[in-house]
Amino acid sequence: MTILSVNHLSKQYGSITALKGVSFDVPPGAVFGILGPNGSGKTTLLGIIMGVLNSNSGSFLLFGEQPTGQMRRRVGTLLETPNFYHYMSGEDNLKITAAIKGKGTDQIDRVLERVNLLSRKKSPFSTYSLGMKQRLAIAASLLGDPEVLVLDEPTNGLDPVGIAEIRDLIKALSREGKTIIMASHLLDEVEKVCTHMAVLRKGELLITGKVSDILARGDIVEVRASDGADISAVLKNFTGAQSVQLQDGLWEMTFADNGTPLGKINEYCFSKGIILDHLALKRKSLEARFLELTKN
């Protein structure tokens, strides 16, 4: 059973198409990153899944069934911005969340401690910093020990230490067997914590699958001649090389497929009278892959 199955979901805002027939599945236990530039439809997609936006067409199944309010109680959600009553304390706000989710208030201290907010639980929400508001929203999403977490830009407003903490928290929750669906435009964030991903651009799904599979599509080989000479013309003639460009003093050869034989490159260069002092297979970064996917 998939945790979430999205089928041809579309959403229009007047003449603007926010989502165009998006389909994908989220397997149980995955940390599923929804990636895309600003305005690509990430929040709209999560808004539809969490019942606050209506789709124009398409459908989705949550826990293999038609979504209901009761099912949303099994999902911890941080959508867009932390939404709380400003005149109430963090603790009182969480009491409301717990009551709506049909859970007791005994977990409140535990979840506040998990996001380092326990000492400020009595302070009014209006006195919280942006980072603290974000932490409170994450604490609220953890109430009731939900099976699934939906986090929209969870590190928004956090300082570097806070970002690292939330990243560790997500990894820890994943190890506990929870499924995490996370929208982000921070590629580094997704690359570090996600097992699966979907890339959106202007409401269209460009690619979806395991992060390792998506990144593994095509090799990048770093090459440098011992004398530091410009060898780009020679490298471009190597079979399978799609492009060659200088990057930080190294020539980067891009290949469409995986499994590029480094030995063959060395042999080829040697046959052309070039001695190499650097030859390495570089894992394609998510950033490179993302730009490759979204540039058109």
Give the interface with another protein as residue ranges (CB under 8 A). 47, 50-54, 68-70, 72-73, 77, 79, 81, 83-88, 92, 95-97, 99-102, 140
In angstroms, give the least distance from the CB of 216 to another protein: 36
Say if CB 187 and CB 259 are below 8 A apart: no
In angstroms, give the least distance from the CB of 288 to another protein: 35
Lookup: tokens for 33: 């990153």
Between 92 and 147, CB nearer to another protein: 92
Between 88 and 215, CB nearer to another protein: 88
CA neighbours within 13 Å on the CB side: how many for 148?
21
Say if CB 281 and CB 216 are below 8 A apart: no
Say if CB 27 and CB 209 are below 8 A apart: no
| Rounded distance between C-alpha atoms, residue 166 and residue 160, angstroms | 10
Between 30 and 79, CB nearer to another protein: 79
Say if CB 107 and CB 91 are below 8 A apart: no
DSSP state letter for 257: S
Between 79 and 111, CB nearer to another protein: 79
In angstroms, give the least distance from the CB of 267 to another protein: 60
Between 49 and 198, CB nearer to another protein: 49
Between 121 and 289, CB nearer to another protein: 121
C-alpha dihedral, 106 to 109 to 112 to 116, nearest 10°: -160
- 192: closest CA among 174, 171, 175? 171
In angstroms, give the least distance from the CB of 133 to another protein: 12
Lookup: tokens for 145: 């020990």
In angstroms, give the least distance from the CB of 5 to another protein: 20
In angstroms, give the least distance from the CB of 92 to another protein: 7
Lookup: tokens for 85: 């009553």
Say if CB 42 and CB 22 are below 8 A apart: no
In angstroms, give the least distance from the CB of 99 to another protein: 5
| Rounded distance between C-alpha atoms, residue 75 and residue 197, angstroms | 19
Between 115 and 220, CB nearer to another protein: 115
Tell me the backbone φ, ψ of residue 22, rounded to 5 degrees. -80, 130
